[in-house]
Structure formats: C-alpha cells, structure tokens
Amino acid sequence: MSADGEARSHWFDDEAGPVVRPYAMTRGRTSHAAQHRLDLIAVVVTEPHVDDAETDNALSPEHVDIVELCRRTPQSVAELAAELDLPIGVVRVLVGDLVDEEYVHVNRPVPPAELPDESILRDVINGLRAL
C-alpha cells in the first residue's frame, strides 16, 4: 500500500457513521449566541403566528422538522435531539437559529436557586394551619 493509500485509510472509518453531516447542518458552527439558554430541559415551543415553515427556503429540513415537532407538542432540547437522532450541540445551534428568526421560543425551567426554600414553604403552611 502506498503512503497515499495509508493516509486515506487512516482518516476514513466505516464504523464512525455520518461525521460530517451534522457539522454541515450547522454550516460549521458549533455554538450559537443563545446556546447558554438552551440546556437539556429547556422547552421549545413553536410561535403561534408560524403557518408553514416548509415554505421558507432559508430553512433546512432539520429546522422544519423542529418547528413541526414543537407545533404538535412543546419539546425539550433533549427530546428533539432524540427524536431527530442528532447530537445535542447540533440541535442547540438549529434551535438558536429558529429563535433568531422567531419561529420558536424557549421556556426555561426555573433555576433551583430561584425556587423558594422548603423551610419557608413549611412555615407558610404552618402559619395557615394556625389561622
């Protein structure tokens, strides 16, 4: 085998699967400006004013799939990744694109630090019982 053949076989692996496709879907981007808001349990909801995403030629088939999935039922980022069989990072970039274009919005869960303390809730319940 020539040096050229060795180099080619070194960089190609049949078992690796589609490595380039997800990277191509995001046009080489690995993050999005809105990505900090897109944790795994963030819920993606299609905007009510969106009629038919398929008519927008600027959207990829994956963008359209996300809009349609979230139209039926709001989906978490993790659910979208599982349903579309795409890496989480790719889904975050695609959802960020859709947020920018106002096709979807994201509902973030309340961070644990902002939830009321359990002891305060107990005190309120005890105070109400005392009335």
With a cut of 80, say whether residue 101 has pLDDT above it.
yes
Tell me the mean pLDDT in the region 21-43: 66
pLDDT of residue 31: 61
pTM metric for this prediction: 0.63
pLDDT of residue 60: 84
Instruction: Map tokens 């994956």 to a residue.
Output: 62
Q: What distance in Å separates the CA atoms of residue 8 and residue 75, rounded to the nearest whole number?
A: 41
- Amino acid sitting at position 15: E
Residue 84 burial by CB count (10 A; 0-12/13-18/19+): exposed, middle or buried? middle
Bridge partner residues of 64 (DSSP): none
CA triplet 56, 32, 101: central angle to 5 degrees?
25
pLDDT of residue 24: 58
pLDDT of residue 66: 92
